[in-house]
Amino acid sequence: MRHRVKSTKLGRSSAHQSALAASLVCNLIKERRIKTTLSKAKVARSLAEKMVTVARKDTVTARRRIISKLHQKDAVGLLFSDIIPICVGREGGYTRILKLGRRRSDSSEMAIIEWVGLPSVTTTTDIEAEKSE
């Protein structure tokens, strides 16, 4: 039974899981939008939402907590300078996941994860073009 089990293993050890999630969130901060599998996108969304919630305080302690999770100071700087000013008015739901369909090679469910509130780079033609790939 799955009583109170919240995380997905993704076929990795616990250290590899946390490193993967941190890498996905750092890439999301830097690129503003990433394409990955649906299960990885859900893991990244969870950590990204928590990092934004902590970062909204904008204290030295908040920066240190986020650096200890993400391990990339440049990504943390971008989070505080670019992402947080856009998320100030929101109570939650800082990211969105758009499903793309299945990948041809192994039939994995693909998705795009992006920040809500940033100038939209997503158009229906972009999504249709990525579905056809």
pLDDT tens per residue across span 85-113: 999 889 999 999 999 999 999 999 999 99
> Domain limits of the chain?
14-132
Answer whether residue 133 shows pLDDT above 80: no
Q: Which residues contact 78 (CB under 8 A, 6 or more apart)?
A: 29, 30
Half-sphere exposure of 90 (CA within 13 A, CB side): 17
The fraction of the chain above a pLDDT of 90, given in percent, is 78
Q: For the whole model, what pTM was predicted? A: 0.85
pLDDT tens per residue across span 64-77: 999 999 999 999 99
Answer whether residue 123 shows pLDDT above 80: no
Architecture of domain 14-132: Alpha-Beta Complex (3.90)
